[in-house]
Amino acid sequence: MGMARLSDLIENFIKELMEEAGKHYVEIQRNELANVFNCAPSQINYVLETRFTIDKGYIIESKRGGGGYIKIYKASVSNNWINQVIENVGDSISESKAKYYIDALLDHNFITAREASLMKAVMNDKILPFSQEEKNALRAILLKAFLMEVARHK
């Protein structure tokens, strides 16, 4: 009988919190949560780093100091169309193709014209000081971050 790993318990706990709240995010306090599970605070970081990654559709935001917190957002990839685009983007994308997708977002009324301009501003090949391959890889990361954000705001 497999003794459940602590990390899995914490992972599930967080996911349940999110479902119960019916929200696409939760806010926790690291020490508090560590206390619930009676573990080292850094264990929480481990769980976040291994289970709530960008790849898995989560975004973490945190603040230190008094009144600090950790917020875990789930990019609600419920949207099929956007989901499909995210897959198509993959790990590398050219400037023109990226702009093509952004225009598609605009066509589908997922974003405004201004938002499209802002996105395109950082898709621009000329502003990135890297090799072509690196630019394409970076662009894919940025575009996916945008797409996830758009899906989240849906």
Concatenating the DSSP letter of every residue in 42-94 gives HHHHHHHHHHS-TTTTEEEEEE-STT-EEEEEE--TT-HHHHHHHHHHTT---
Which one of the spans 38-46, 81-89, 113-121 is the region binding a second copy (CB under 8 A)?
A: 113-121
Exactly one of 18, 39, 77, 138 binds a second copy (CB under 8 A); that residue is: 138
Task: Decide if residue 130 touches DNA (CB under 7 A).
Answer: no
What number of chain residues touch a second copy (CB under 8 A)? Answer: 37
Span 47-106, contacts to a second copy by CB under 8 A: 53-54, 59-61, 66-67, 69
Exactly one of 18, 24, 25, 27 binds a second copy (CB under 8 A); that residue is: 27
Cα separation values, 13 from 8, 21, 48, 108, Å: 8, 12, 12, 36
* Rounded Cα gap, residues 152 and 148, in angstroms: 6
Which one of the spans 13-21, 61-69, 116-124, 138-146 is the region binding DNA (CB under 7 A)?
A: 61-69
Task: Decide if residue 22 touches a second copy (CB under 8 A).
Answer: no
In the complex, minimum distance from the CB of residue 63 to a second copy, in angstroms, rounded to a whole number: 8
Task: Decide if residue 129 touches DNA (CB under 7 A).
Answer: no
Of the two residues 11 and 115, which places its CB atom closer to DNA in the complex? 11
Q: How many CA atoms lie within 13 A of 118 on its CB side?
A: 6
Cβ atoms 58, 72 nearer than 8 A: yes
Residues that bind DNA (CB under 7 A): 2-3, 5-8, 28-32, 39-46, 50, 60, 62-70, 96
